[in-house]
Every structure is written in structure tokens, then in C-alpha cells.
Amino acid sequence: MHRVIAALLAVASPMTIAQAQSPGPTQGPPLTLERALDLAGATAPSVEAASAGVRAAEAGRTVAGLRPNPTINAETENVVGTGQYEGLRSAETTVGVALPIELGGKRSARIAVADAIGIRAQVDQAVAAADVRLAVTQAYVEAAAAERRVVTAREQAAIASEALRAANVRVRAGRASPIEEQRADVLRLNAAAALERAERLAETARGNLARRIGQPVAGPLDLAWFERVEGVADPRPTAPALTLAAARADAATAAAQVRLARSQRIPDLTVSASARRLEQTDDVAAVFGVSIPIPLFNRGTAAVAQARAERDRADALVRAAELDADQAVANARAEVANAAVTARTAAGPTLAAARESARIARIGYREGKFGQLDLLDAERTLSETRAAAIDALAAYHDARARLERLTASAPGSTGR
């Protein structure tokens, strides 16, 4: 009799588990990570802000190249006085144009500063894009892991239901104590609660991903990508990391500010040409003038000293960024390599061994060769191993995303 019951359970169990493995009806192809990244890049506010910063820097470059505007001067002398200067009889009216002439290379210095600011804005744009890519990848990994946990929870719920039916059969046949049925029912209830929690967390993770990409996530995710573990490329990036590129852009801006401060020490000339009309004789005469400020109180030395100090500070920060970037990349590479080994082991031979152990325990329990405690121990080991495998895969993809963020190249980089 017990062999017939065991045969029926052996047929029913795989069918139920196979149904539990299916995440449910879906529509359309899976949402891939690359598609999510494309959608997020088109709607991310930080990317829009960085793009506006680039446009502002380009406009600033145009402003820096403009020359000073000329000035129109008009004045009337010898009017509203006494004697012969009463009224407008002796008026002298002068109308002319004054043109400032910049000396010391001020215009080219301003352009150099604007160019450095433009490069920094481009780096900021790349930083914003890299940050969005990291955030979206992490949200996608979290959602994929949550979806995978739902699948696992459904499998465990189905297994718990089968275990309860098997315990019920054994108890009714008088081959087991009613305690086994009660224990199996508790495990079934716990598995159902775990499934409910997993589904709720998956819904939250999908909502977070939807907010990142700007549209609902209705279809499935690419679980094949989530379960794939790739190697880490050994060669280092040929371009500097974004943090280092930003520090170098700041140093270039500081150096250009020193040049601009030096140019400001040289006074500018203002030349003027005017025409003067004499009211008494109705004659017209030309008037020419040149003016230059005297650097008596402010000679620009303090501004140059300040700019030099800022340049020295920026140079020191570049050296610090070089050290930090190399160390961060080395640590991230080691972390990705370790996470890959852990994920391969947890999702490969370890999980296969746990599945085989649980399969043998189920068969032995149905045939009366193993006790319920042996079955529960094998099932608990399988559940923990599955959870560890999902956590390991999520940790691997997260570490890989952070490594890609650290090694993202700056725009226009030609090498270290």
C-alpha cells in the first residue's frame, strides 16, 4: 500500500513543483538591463541638469571671447553761467566714442578659464550618466533577485504542501504520529507566509525600478542575465576614472585662473575720439583722448596669490585622487572576483548537492526509510542554499556595477 501512495506522490510532486517554478503569465519579452538603462537615461533629472550645465559652459565660452563694448560720450561745457557764458552763447558740445583696449592677454585668459570650465561640465555630465547607470543597475538587480526569490518561495510552498499530504497519508495509514502532520502543517503555513512576503518585496522592487526608468514594469525581467556569472577583465582602463578626471579638470581650471589673475594686473587703455562744436563760431574741432588707471591701491598681487593657492590645492587633490582611484579599483576588482567565485559555487555545485539531498530525502520519507526530521533538515538546507545563491548572485552583479562605475571613462580622455 505504501508503495502505491509513494508512487502517486512521486508523480504529483514534480508536477506541482514545475507549476510553482513558473512566475506566472507574462506579456511580451523580458525587460533587459540595457533597455532599462536606455529608458532611465532619457528621463533622469540628474542627466538633464548635467546637460544644461554643458550648455551653460558653452555659452560661457562665447561670453568669454567677447570684447568690451564701446561707449558713446556726450557733454556740453560753458553753459548756464554768467556774463558771456550766460545761456548757450559760449556752449561747447563734444560728442565722441570711447573704446576700451584690453592688455595683458585678458581675453585669451578668460577663454582658457571658460574652456576648462567646459571640460569640467562634460565630466559632470559623464558622472551623472554613470551614477544613473549604477542606480538603475542596482534597482534592476534588486528587482531580479526579488523575482527569483518569489520563484523559490513558490517552490518551497509547493514542497511544503506535498510534505503535508505525505504526512497526512502516513498518519492515516498508522505509520506516523499525528505530530508529523501538525509539524508539516506549520511548515506549510510558514512557507505560505514567506511567499506572501517575497511577493510584496518583489512588487516594491519593481516599483522602485519603474520610478527609475519612468514607466511601469509589467513584463518579466531577464533572469537569465541575473543567473549568469562572467569573468572580470584583467587589463586596466586606458582612460582615467571619472573622479580623477574631475580632479584634473579642477586643476586645469585653477591653473587658468592664475593666468587670468596675472593678466588682470596689467591696466587697460581707453582711447576716445570726439567732435567738439563751438557755439560762438559754429566751428567743429576734433578731440582725442587716452586714459589708463593707476594701480595705486590694488595692484592685483593678492588675487594672484589667491589663485596660486587654489592651483596648489587642486594639484594636491589630483595626486590624492590618483591614489584613491587606484586603490578603489583594485579593491573593487578583488570584490568582483570573490563575488563571482561565491556566486558560481552557491548557484552551481552547492545548490545541485542540496537539491539532490532533498530529492533523496523526499523519496526516502515517502518509502518510510527516513524520518520526518531528516526530510525537514534536507528541505531547510535546500531553502537556505537557494537563498544564499540568490544573495550571492545579487552581490556579484552589485559589485560588478560598482566596478563599472569606478572605471567609467571620462569624455575626451586619451590616457592616464
Q: What average pLDDT does range 202-228 have in this prediction?
A: 92
Pair (313, 385) in one structural domain: yes
Report whether pLDDT(82) > 60: yes
pLDDT band (50, 70, 90) for residue 81: confident
pLDDT score recorded for residue 148? 93
pLDDT at 76 over 60: yes
Over residues 32-55, the mean pLDDT reads 91
**Confidence (pLDDT) at 415:** 43
Q: Would you say residue 78 lies in a domain? A: yes
pLDDT of residue 295: 87
pLDDT higher than 50, residue 307 = yes
Distance between the two ends of the chain, CA-based, in angstroms? 77
Q: Specify the number of domains making up the chain.
A: 2
Is residue 346 domain-shared with residue 247, that is, in the same domain?
yes
Average pLDDT, the chain: 85
78 backbone φψ class: left, alpha, beta (φ>0; ψ -120 to 50): left
Do 163 and 33 share a structural domain? Answer: yes
| CATH value at residue 38 | 1.20.1600.10
* Judgement on whether residues 314 and 401 belong to the same structural domain of the protein: yes
Q: Are residues 37 and 14 in the same domain?
A: yes
Residue 411 lies inside a defined structural domain of this protein: no
Instruction: Please check the confidence at residue 316 and state whether its pLDDT lies above 80.
Output: yes
Indicate the range of 239-243, 256-260, 397-401 predicted with least confidence. 239-243
Alpha helices, DSSP H, located in 28-105: 33-43, 45-64
Beta bridge partners of 100: 270
**pLDDT tops 70 at residue 236:** no
Examine residue 416 and state whether it is found in any structural domain, yes or no: no
- On whether residue 412 sits in a domain, the answer given is no
For residues 284 and 393, membership in a common domain is answered with no
Residue 212 has pLDDT above 70, yes or no: yes
- The verdict on 206 and 286 lying in the same domain is no
Do 84 and 144 lie in one domain? The reply is: no
- Taking CA atoms, 114 is separated from 146, 250, 314, 329, in Å, by 48, 12, 17, 31
In a domain, 88, yes or no: yes
Q: Model-level pTM? A: 0.79
329 occurs within a structural domain? yes
* Nearest-angstrom CA–CA distance, 143 and 216: 13
Q: Residues 156, 161, 167, CA angle at the centre, nearest 5°?
A: 125
pLDDT at 24 over 60: no
Nearest Cα neighbor of 338 from 352, 145, 330 is: 330
Q: What is the pLDDT of residues 281-296, one digit of tens each?
A: 788 888 899 999 888 8
Q: Which domain holds residue 279?
A: 72-101+267-299
Name the domain boundary from 250, 276, 299. 299
Statement to judge: residues 122 and 56 lie in one domain: yes
Cβ-contact 336, 397 below 8 angstroms: no
Q: What percent of the chain has pLDDT over 70?
A: 88
pLDDT of residue 413: 56
Q: Of 257, 279, 299, which residue constitutes the final position of a domain?
A: 299
